[in-house]
Amino acid sequence: MAFDETLAARIRDEVAGSDGITDRKMFGGITFMLNGNMAAGVIGDDLIVRLGAEAAPAALAEPGVRVFDFTGKPMPNWVVVDGSRLADDHLGQWLRKGLDYAASLPPK
């Protein structure tokens, strides 16, 4: 599966200058990690965000957000944000949520 290179570039622009952020191709897309912990990624035209057990259920109530079910098995603590819902300000807000969660984990 190809991923939206333009969305990936927008993410790179959002995180430019931040320490500890790397990206890696996986899941047929690309993921962005903070200190080795996955925070967000792009699959197809959509953004995936790692939120943790406490924040994921509330995020699912937002428009354009669904469970991350990549393999037929839902991935708990992750959500998919429809690419059409990622205006500039929304992308930054979702990235911050994923990066905040990744920052709460011990570095790998």
Per-residue pLDDT reduced to its tens digit, 10-55: 999 999 999 999 999 987 899 999 999 999 999 999 999 999 999 9
Residue ranges making up the domain that contains 92: 5-103
Has residue 25 been placed in a domain?
A: yes
Distance CA 87, CA 93 (A): 10
* Domain count within the chain: 1
Has residue 41 been placed in a domain?
A: yes
Average pLDDT, the chain: 94
Has residue 108 been placed in a domain?
A: no
The model carries a pTM of: 0.93
Has residue 45 been placed in a domain?
A: yes
Task: Give the closest residue to 43 by CA, choosing from 63, 21, 68, 73.
Answer: 68
Task: Could you list the beta-strand ranges (E) of the chain.
Answer: 21-26, 29-34, 37-43, 46-50, 65-67, 78-81
CATH number at residue 45: 3.90.1150.30
